[in-house]
Amino acid sequence: MSVSRKIKAAMEGASWIRRMFEEGAELKARLGPERVFDFTLGNPDLEPPLRFKEALAEAVRDPSPGLHGYMFNAGFLNTREALAGHLSSMYRRDFGPQDLVLTSGAAGALNIILKALLDPGDEVIIFAPFFPDYPFYADNHGGLVRVVETDPTFQLDLEALQNALSPRTKAVLINSPNNPTGQVYPENSLGKMGELLQEHGNKVGRVVYLVADEPYSRILYDGLVLPNIFEVYPHTLLATSFSKDLSIPGERLGLCSQWLALPLSRALQGLATVGALRWKNLAPLGRPVCQDLANWVDRLRAQRAWLTARVAIPLPAKLVPSLAPCQAPQVVELRRPRLPILELHSAPQAPPLQ
Ligand SMILES: Cc1ncc(COP(=O)(O)O)c(C=O)c1O
């Protein structure tokens, strides 16, 4: 098949992650899967909570008519109601079902947001190192990414951001907690960024949107609290999912949301068919998903504490190591500084899983 030059170049550019994934598989085969923690692709290695599987089975057995048919672009009302309640408690704002659109994962949410925002040639600022799909998402909708370096600790460099803002800037895309660095951007830095975007927007006469990609928002360790992104800047759009905290990336359960009733929300709803896959249809799922979150994230914390007690390096906040049986590792090797594969040379004793 003769693929387009653009797709060919994109495939070549993206293949290094796959190569690292393959290197991880090769290490597992050589050293044993219980000794290699592979952080190359964002596939959680815990199974989803039992309650999620039960809810799934209930949803499949639900005899209500229409559950497998077309539905509103934004997704079924009762699913959105349940998720609006979840957003309201998380972001301390009064979200209603009209304020969110169900999507096919955070990736679907980001694509809908960028589709709603971008005209050809508009710029989207992203911060390095970044989730490698971002440039593809911007390109899907005619946008260009402008990459801004972070500071030596991978925190936002606001001066670099200021220098990168241009009359073509339509959006600034941030990801906190961050993949791959694990950094969480503090409130004061986000607040200053909000002021910067407001000033720049006033100067050039166009709104610069802040797109917050937060699929890791509930996976926080060491008492860290994620600043409320809706308090930082009024023109904020949220993309999130349950892929990571419920270990269900294959189910594609995500959403995008904005709190202020800007005209943009109608555009998001209109475009939501882009993300129309699977879970949008399963109305009963929303509530159990929300109920599960708290306990499940505690389990991830216990798992991380177990591993950090045994390795010599501080783990970034995001990393969620496996609870596969594994005893006191003696050597930890970081194969890549930014997308590590941890290789544990030792033998095994893990805490029991409940
Ligand atoms: C930073 C970031 N954003 C978005 C995504 C996509 O998430 P989802 O699987 O929910 O589409 C990922 C997945 O790894 C990610 O790491």
Please tell me the distance from the alpha carbon of residue 153 to that of residue 140, in angstroms, as a whole number. 31
Q: How confident is the model at residue 213 (pLDDT cuts 50, 70, 90)?
A: very high
Q: What's at 185, amino acid-wise?
A: Y
Task: List all residues 6 or more positions away from 76 whose beta carbon is below 8 Å from its beta carbon.
Answer: 102, 280, 281, 282, 283
Give, in order, the Cα–Cα distances in Å from 138 to each of 45, 135, 206, 264, 287.
Answer: 29, 5, 19, 18, 32
Q: What percent of the chain has pLDDT over 70?
A: 76
pLDDT in tens, 284-340: 565 556 666 666 777 777 777 777 776 655 555 444 333 333 333 333 333 333 333
The CA 141 to ligand 1 mean position distance, Å, reads 18
Ligand 1 pocket check for 106: Cβ under 6 Å: yes
| pLDDT, average across residues 228-241 | 94
Ligand 1 pocket check for 213: Cβ under 6 Å: yes
The CA 294 to ligand 1 mean position distance, Å, reads 20
Q: How confident is the model at residue 342 (pLDDT cuts 50, 70, 90)?
A: very low
Q: How confident is the model at residue 20 (pLDDT cuts 50, 70, 90)?
A: confident
Ligand 1 pocket check for 194: Cβ under 6 Å: no
| pLDDT, average across residues 225-251 | 91
* pLDDT given for residue 262 in this prediction: 60
The CA 318 to ligand 1 mean position distance, Å, reads 12
The CA 350 to ligand 1 mean position distance, Å, reads 28
pLDDT for 120 beyond 90? yes
Nearest to 324 by CA among 33, 15, 101, 13: 33
The CA 348 to ligand 1 mean position distance, Å, reads 31
* pLDDT given for residue 351 in this prediction: 39
pLDDT in tens, 76-110: 888 888 888 889 989 998 999 889 888 888 999 99
Ligand 1 pocket check for 193: Cβ under 6 Å: no
The CA 243 to ligand 1 mean position distance, Å, reads 8
* pLDDT given for residue 325 in this prediction: 31
pLDDT in tens, 257-268: 877 656 666 666
Nearest atom of ligand 1 to the alpha carbon of 253: 10
Give me 51's structure tokens. 């309650």
Ligand 1 pocket check for 249: Cβ under 6 Å: yes
Ligand 1 pocket check for 236: Cβ under 6 Å: no
CB 67 within 8 A of CB 283: yes
Q: Which domains does the chain have, with CATH numbers?
A: 41-338 (3.40.640.10)
Query: Which residue among 244, 251, 252, 277 has the greatest number of ligand 1 atoms within 8 angstroms of its CB, and so is best to mutate?
Result: 244
The CA 286 to ligand 1 mean position distance, Å, reads 19
Please tell me the distance from the alpha carbon of residue 193 to that of residue 107, in angstroms, as a whole number. 24
The CA 37 to ligand 1 mean position distance, Å, reads 19
Ligand 1 pocket check for 243: Cβ under 6 Å: yes
Please tell me the distance from the alpha carbon of residue 229 to that of residue 190, in angstroms, as a whole number. 8
* pLDDT given for residue 327 in this prediction: 33
Q: What is the mean pLDDT of the chain?
A: 79
